[in-house]
């Protein structure tokens, strides 16, 4: 601690340089932590998928629908306990994507049986089962728009087959909650309505987007998936069946590649900042040749001189890291309420600056500081008094 | 700071010292078989033209450079076999160094500069500050304790540097052209101060200088020319 004034005064002397280095480091840590948080949130969502649920979709792409009669054929496959249609409707509230929230057409009774995380009072369940234009909405969505049971609203889909010349009108039959401890990934901003309504409104021409199956044993998921896909192997519309976890992984733009991309960006930024900070430290130390010579003449051991420079670099890293974490924490808190981005971000249930990421961010900042300061500190360690003082 | 008289003993003993610098493939002989004895409490001036090896000899005695051959014994310690770390520790206890260009740390004020060598001692913060203020009082700059080097004149900076050199009460003070960057009056003040440390505090002083007037303040003068010493 007795050397602290010496270190701090050096940082304060060139405060513009110190500030710019700290800001550069902060931006780096901010990016790394924010990107890592997104990666974690995506992974978190993936791991929370129900292992007892399979999702069947068109083999080529999610863009194409499956024939309606596939539901009955899949229901007959051994190991399938229940099945429901889940079709992405793509409805826009007020006809504008900026008011977007997830809305899907399902078969109410079967859907609630397969998705126990969607929790509704019994009277609301019954109301929904018997209301063709009824829908249920998540608690957060209801709070966002101030909607109550009995309220009506309209949605217009941006998907061509579902654009029928006029908006779809819905009545809220229920507001669902969940047990966040048991089902933390449950989306409370979604809306579900009766597939029959969609089917009839489109002139009974539309197919189903996906089919979700509840199976008897998660350990049989592979065999059942194969059996389902084998059923349609020789048909015009082949299927691809996978676990809900795998389906979500594919749905969120190949999460593995996303993580690689985001980590790659973080690494590139970190490397750039390492060069910037190392350059700053080199200049700072080069300007201090006289001081290094004097300290050594006074009897400061080379190791101590090296340590003083390393601590200075670590301090830069710590300040940048702390500021970066504050920025990341603020951004992650604010993001869900940002138009457009917020709608996407809210889909990630585990979004938040975890202690693991705080440690990771701070550790990266300190490591960058240490690496940036190492070479200048080593040069100071090796500096010979007679040579550095002769250069003055 | 010790003011007691001591029995005359050898403070510095330079025995048949050679110093050769290697510059690429060229060997530059700087000191060639130097022998020098300095008794405790003496004020010795080393004179000579540029490149004669004065500063090199001073650096060897101060333990900041190493002999090519020969032996340097200062304050009873043979410096030749000491490691870099041991030399640093030894310097912090036995040597006070006064530079031509003062070499104060610009980000530290006067008292912090003086306190710097005391950071290597186990003294408390208060004790360090008290000793540094005492040293500044002796050099007449107590009222400039909070001034930064840029706020001081050259003469004042050198007095702060002297305070820094004596604050640990070292055995030997070495000064490399201490008046070389000062005007006549400031130089006179610095030399008077060094005389005071020699006479009142019995500090052994070795001073390298070009200036005959500065050398005249010393009790003993040695001349170096082409690496060879003469009285």
Asked whether residue A230 carries a pLDDT value surpassing 90, the answer given is yes
CA distance B65 to chain A (A): 7
B75: left (phi over 0), alpha (psi -120 to 50) or beta: left
**pLDDT score recorded for residue A95:** 80
Judging contacts by C-beta atoms under 8 Å, the chain B residues touching residue A297 are 62, 64, 91, 97
Q: Which two tokens stand for residue A368?
A: 């960058």
User: Cβ contact (<8 Å) for A385 and B64?
Assistant: yes
* Cβ contact A300:A58 at 8 Å: no
* Cβ contact A161:A205 at 8 Å: yes
End-to-end alpha-carbon separation of chain A, Å?
30
Mean pLDDT of B111-139: 95
Rounded to whole angstroms, the Cα distance separating A302 from A378 reads 9
Q: Average per-residue pLDDT in chain A? A: 88
- Cα separations in angstroms, A291 against A75, B58, B106, B204: 81, 20, 9, 26
DSSP single-letter state for residue A168: E
Judging contacts by C-beta atoms under 8 Å, the chain A residues touching residue B101 are 392
Mean pLDDT of A282-308: 91
* Cβ contact B198:B41 at 8 Å: yes
Q: Is A308 exposed, middle or buried (0-12, 13-18, 19+ CB in 10 A)?
A: buried
Helices and strands in chain A, H and E counts:
15, 10
Rounded to whole angstroms, the Cα distance separating A20 from A316 reads 10
A294 vs B65, B103, B128: nearest CB: B103
Q: Which of residues A40 and A134 earns the better pLDDT score?
A: A134
Q: Which two tokens stand for residue B82?
A: 């000491």
CA distance A3 to chain B (A): 7
Is A1 within 8 Å of chain B by CB?
A: no
* Residue B168 neighbours by CB distance under 10 Å: 24
Mean pLDDT of B78-101: 93
Burial track A286-297 (b if 16+ CB lie within 10 A, e otherwise): eebbbbbbbbbb
End-to-end alpha-carbon separation of chain B, Å?
31
Asked whether residue A244 carries a pLDDT value surpassing 90, the answer given is no
Closest residue in chain B to residue A293, using alpha carbons only: B103
Interface test with B, best of A9, A297, A302 (most B CBs within 10 A): A297
* Cβ contact A210:A44 at 8 Å: no
B103 vs A9, A290, A386: nearest CB: A290
**pLDDT score recorded for residue B212:** 87
User: Cβ contact (<8 Å) for B103 and A389?
Assistant: yes
Q: Average per-residue pLDDT in chain B? A: 91
Asked whether residue B154 carries a pLDDT value surpassing 60, the answer given is yes
User: Cβ contact (<8 Å) for A389 and B119?
Assistant: no
Asked whether residue A344 carries a pLDDT value surpassing 80, the answer given is no
Three-class DSSP labels, A19-83:
HHHHHHHHHHHHHHHHHHHHHHHHHHHHHCCCCCEEEEEECCCCCCCECCCHHHHHHCCCCEEEE
User: Cβ contact (<8 Å) for B101 and A302?
Assistant: no
Window 239-298 of A, Cβ < 8 Å to B = 290-291, 293-298
CA distance B105 to chain A (A): 6
Is A385 within 8 Å of chain B by CB?
A: yes
Q: What is the pLDDT of residues A254-278, one digit of tens each?
A: 555 667 777 788 888 888 888 888 8
Closest residue in chain A to residue B173, using alpha carbons only: A298
**pLDDT score recorded for residue B5:** 44
**pLDDT score recorded for residue B180:** 86
Mean pLDDT of A82-92: 94
Comparing CA positions, the residue from A10, A335, A304, A223 lying closest to residue B105 is A10
Tell me the residue length of chain A.
392
Closest residue in chain A to residue B86, using alpha carbons only: A301
User: Cβ contact (<8 Å) for A302 and B65?
Assistant: no
Give ∠ CA A345-A198-A240 in degrees, rounded to 5.
65
**pLDDT score recorded for residue A17:** 87
CA atoms within 13 A on the CB side of A321: 21
Find residue A54's DSSP bridge partners: A213, A243
Q: Is B141 exposed, middle or buried (0-12, 13-18, 19+ CB in 10 A)?
A: buried
Is A299 within 8 Å of chain B by CB?
A: yes
The secondary structure of B101-152 as a DSSP string is T----TTS-HHHHHHGGGGGSS--HHHHHHHHHHHHHHTT-GGGTT--GGGS
User: Cβ contact (<8 Å) for A3 and B99?
Assistant: no
Positive or negative, the Cα torsion across B208, B213, B215, B221?
positive
Strand order in the sheet with B172-176: B95-98, B172-176, B204-209, B43-47, B220-225, B228-230
**pLDDT score recorded for residue B4:** 42
Identify each DSSP E strand in chain A by its residue range: 53-58, 80-88, 91-93, 103-106, 134-138, 152-157, 168-176, 191-194, 210-215, 239-243
Quote ipTM for the complex: 0.90
User: Cβ contact (<8 Å) for A298 and B64?
Assistant: no
User: Cβ contact (<8 Å) for A301 and B93?
Assistant: no
Closest residue in chain B to residue A302, using alpha carbons only: B85
Is A392 within 8 Å of chain B by CB?
A: yes
Judging contacts by C-beta atoms under 8 Å, the chain B residues touching residue A302 are 84-85, 88
What is the band of A341 on the pLDDT scale with cuts at 50, 70, 90?
low
Q: What is the pLDDT of residues A25-39, one digit of tens each?
A: 999 899 889 888 877
Judging contacts by C-beta atoms under 8 Å, the chain A residues touching residue B99 are 294, 389
For chain B, list residues whose CB is within 8 angstroms of any CB belonging to chain A. Answer: 59, 62, 64-65, 84-85, 88-93, 95, 97, 99, 101, 103, 105-108, 112, 116-117, 119-120, 125, 128, 164
User: Cβ contact (<8 Å) for B106 and A13?
Assistant: yes
Q: What is the pLDDT of residues A43-69, one digit of tens each?
A: 776 666 778 999 999 999 888 999 999
* Cβ contact B211:B180 at 8 Å: yes
CA distance B103 to chain A (A): 7
B88 vs A6, A299, A389: nearest CB: A299
Q: Which helix (H) or strand (E) holds A367?
A: helix A355-382
Q: At A266, is the secondary structure helix, strand, or coil?
A: helix
Judging contacts by C-beta atoms under 8 Å, the chain B residues touching residue A6 are 105, 107-108, 116
Read off φ and ψ for residue B22, nearest 5 degrees: -105, 115
User: Cβ contact (<8 Å) for B116 and A10?
Assistant: no
Q: Which two tokens stand for residue B92?
A: 């912090």
Quick one: what percent of chain A has pLDDT higher than 70?
92
**Residue-range domains of chain B with CATH:** 41-63+82-230 (3.40.50.300)
User: Cβ contact (<8 Å) for A296 and B88?
Assistant: yes
Interface test with A, best of B103, B110, B146 (most A CBs within 10 A): B103
Rounded to whole angstroms, the Cα distance separating A46 from A246 reads 7
* Cβ contact A332:A34 at 8 Å: yes
Give ∠ CA A321-A325-A331 in degrees, rounded to 5.
145
Rounded to whole angstroms, the Cα distance separating A350 from A45 reads 7
Give ∠ CA A378-A384-A385 in degrees, rounded to 5.
125
What contacts A28, CB < 8 A, 6 or more positions away?
A269, A270, A272, A273, A320, A324, A364, A365, A368
Rounded to whole angstroms, the Cα distance separating A43 from B57 reads 69
Rounded to whole angstroms, the Cα distance separating A131 from A172 reads 10
B120 vs A290, A294, A299: nearest CB: A299
**pLDDT score recorded for residue A149:** 96
Comparing CA positions, the residue from A87, A38, A114, A47 lying closest to residue A249 is A47
User: Cβ contact (<8 Å) for B105 and A392?
Assistant: no
Rounded to whole angstroms, the Cα distance separating A250 from A63 reads 13
**pLDDT score recorded for residue A347:** 63
């Amino acid at each position: 601690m007795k050397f602290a004034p010496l270190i701090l005064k050096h940082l304060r002397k060139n405060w513009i340089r110190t500030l710019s280095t700290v800001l550069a480091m902060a931006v780096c840590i901010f990016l790394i932590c924010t990107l890592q948080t997104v990666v974690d949130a995506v992974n978190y969502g993936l791991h929370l998928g129900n292992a007892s649920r399979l999702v069947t979709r068109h083999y080529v792409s999610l863009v194409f629908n499956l024939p309606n009669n596939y539901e009955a054929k899949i229901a007959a496959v051994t190991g399938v306990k229940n099945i429901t249609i889940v079709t992405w409707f793509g409805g826009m509230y007020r006809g504008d994507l900026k008011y977007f929230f997830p809305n899907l057409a399902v078969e109410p009774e079967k859907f609630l049986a397969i998705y126990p995380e969607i929790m509704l009072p019994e009277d609301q369940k019954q109301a929904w089962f018997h209301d063709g234009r009824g829908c249920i909405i998540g608690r957060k969505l209801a709070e966002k728009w101030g909607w109550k049971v009995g309220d009506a609203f309209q949605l217009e889909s941006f998907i061509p087959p579902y654009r029928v010349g006029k908006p779809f009108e819905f009545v809220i039959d229920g507001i669902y909650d969940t047990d966040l401890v048991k089902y933390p990934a449950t989306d409370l901003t979604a809306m579900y309505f009766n597939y029959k309504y969609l089917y009839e409104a489109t002139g009974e021409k539309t197919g189903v987007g996906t089919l979700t199956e509840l199976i008897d044993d998660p350990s049989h998921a592979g065999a059942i998936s194969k059996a389902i896909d084998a059923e349609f192997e020789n048909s015009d519309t082949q299927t691809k069946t996978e676990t809900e976890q795998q389906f979500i992984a594919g749905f969120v733009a190949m999460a593995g590649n996303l993580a690689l991309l985001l980590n790659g960006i973080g690494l590139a930024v970190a490397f750039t900042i390492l060069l910037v900070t190392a350059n700053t430290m080199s200049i700072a130390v080069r300007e201090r040749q006289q001081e290094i010579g004097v300290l050594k003449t006074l009897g400061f051991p080379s190791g101590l001189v090296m340590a003083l420079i390393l601590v200075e670099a670590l301090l830069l890293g710590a300040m940048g890291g702390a500021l970066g974490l504050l920025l990341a924490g603020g951004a992650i808190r604010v993001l869900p309420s940002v138009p457009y981005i917020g709608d996407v971000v809210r889909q990630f249930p585990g979004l938040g600056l975890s202690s693991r990421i705080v440690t990771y961010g701070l550790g990266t900042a300190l490591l960058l500081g240490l690496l940036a300061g190492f070479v200048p500190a080593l040069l100071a360690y090796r500096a010979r008094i007679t040579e550095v003082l002769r250069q003055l | 700071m010790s003011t007691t008289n001591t029995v005359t003993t050898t403070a510095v003993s330079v025995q048949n010292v050679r110093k050769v610098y290697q510059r690429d493939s060229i060997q530059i002989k700087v000191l060639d078989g130097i022998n020098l004895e300095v008794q405790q409490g003496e004020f010795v001036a080393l004179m000579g033209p540029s490149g004669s090896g004065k500063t090199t000899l001073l650096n060897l005695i101060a333990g900041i450079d190493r002999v090519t051959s020969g032996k340097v014994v200062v304050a009873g310690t043979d410096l030749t076999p000491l490691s870099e770390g041991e030399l640093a520790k030894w310097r912090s206890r036995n040597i006070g160094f006064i530079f031509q260009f003062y070499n104060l740390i610009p980000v530290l004020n006067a008292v912090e500069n003086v306190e710097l060598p005391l950071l290597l001692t186990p003294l408390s913060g208060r004790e360090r500050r008290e000793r540094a203020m005492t040293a500044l009082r002796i050099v007449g700059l107590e009222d400039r304790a909070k001034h930064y080097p840029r706020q001081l004149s050259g003469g004042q900076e050198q007095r702060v540097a002297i305070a820094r050199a004596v604050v640990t009460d070292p055995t030997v003070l070495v000064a490399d052209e201490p008046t070389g960057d000062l005007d006549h009056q400031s130089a006179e003040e610095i030399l008077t101060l060094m005389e005071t440390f020699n006479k009142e505090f019995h500090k052994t002083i070795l001073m390298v200088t070009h200036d005959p007037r500065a050398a005249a303040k010393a009790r003993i003068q040695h001349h170096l020319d082409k690496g060879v010493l003469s009285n």
